[in-house]
């Protein structure tokens, strides 16, 4: 059990760590905090390697949205 708070979380919560990679019909998926399953991947290793890439994409997307918000506020 861990107490974790992300910057965008409005209140502190307790999260229970669980296995993020699951197998469905012989294919591998990883689950996100947002409640989505990402995949399919052909191996557990491949799914695990994709987690940091997913996080990087989400951070990049948020940065783009934040810059658009700043730009529209300046107009």
At 13-24, the pLDDT tens digits run 555 456 889 999
pLDDT classification of 39: cutoffs 50, 70, 90: very high
What the block records as the tokens of 22 is 């699951």
Please tell me the pTM assigned to this model: 0.67
- Across all residues in the chain, what is the average pLDDT? 83
**28, 21 in Cβ contact below 8 A?**
yes
Distances (CA, A) of 17 to 2, 8, 9, 42, 64: 7, 19, 17, 24, 30
């Amino acid at each position: 059990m861990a107490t974790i708070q992300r910057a965008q979380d409005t209140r502190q919560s307790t999260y229970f760590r669980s296995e993020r990679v699951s197998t469905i019909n012989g294919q591998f998926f990883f689950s996100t905090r947002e409640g989505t399953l990402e995949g399919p991947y052909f191996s557990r290793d491949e799914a695990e390697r994709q987690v940091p890439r997913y996080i990087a994409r989400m951070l990049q997307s948020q940065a783009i949205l934040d810059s658009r918000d700043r730009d529209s506020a300046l107009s």
